[in-house]
Amino acid sequence: MKHRKSVLKLNRTSSHRKAMFRNMVTSLFKHDKIKTTEAKAKGLRGIADKMVTLAKRGDLHARRQVLAFIREKDVAHTLFNEVSEKFDSRQGGYTRIIKLGPRKGDVAPMVQIELIFD
């Protein structure tokens, strides 16, 4: 039974999953939207929202926590300077998942996850 288990394993080891989500979060903040499978996007959503919340906090400890997860300094810099200002009045729900339909090769449900800047 999957009671009280909140981690999406995605049939990967923990180190592979952590590296994959690091790369996906970096790409999301670099390009503002990415195309991926539905399960990966649902796992990414919580991590991306946490990074935006840390960027909105803006202190040194939050910056170090973000840099421990996002390894590209320029992406973290834009996250703290530009993205946090755009989400200043928003209380959560920083990402949107839009369904695109099945992938041609293996019929996996594809989605586009993007940052909401209204």
Per residue, what are the HEC states of 63-98? HHHHHHHCCCHHHHHHHHHHHHHHCCCCCCCCEEEE
Bridge partners, residue 110, by sequence: 37, 101
Q: 8-21, pLDDT tens digit by residue? A: 899 999 999 999 99
Please tell me the CATH superfamily of domain 14-115, with its number: Ribosomal protein L17 (3.90.1030.10)
Q: 38-66, pLDDT tens digit by residue? A: 999 999 999 999 999 999 999 999 999 99
| Residue from 99, 98, 61, 105 nearest 80 by CA | 61
Instruction: Please report, for the chain, the start and end positions of each structural domain, with discontinuous segments joined by +.
Output: 14-115
Q: pTM for the complete prediction? A: 0.93
CB 83 within 8 A of CB 14: no
| Cα dihedral 4→28→69→42 (10° resolution) | 10
CB 36 within 8 A of CB 24: yes
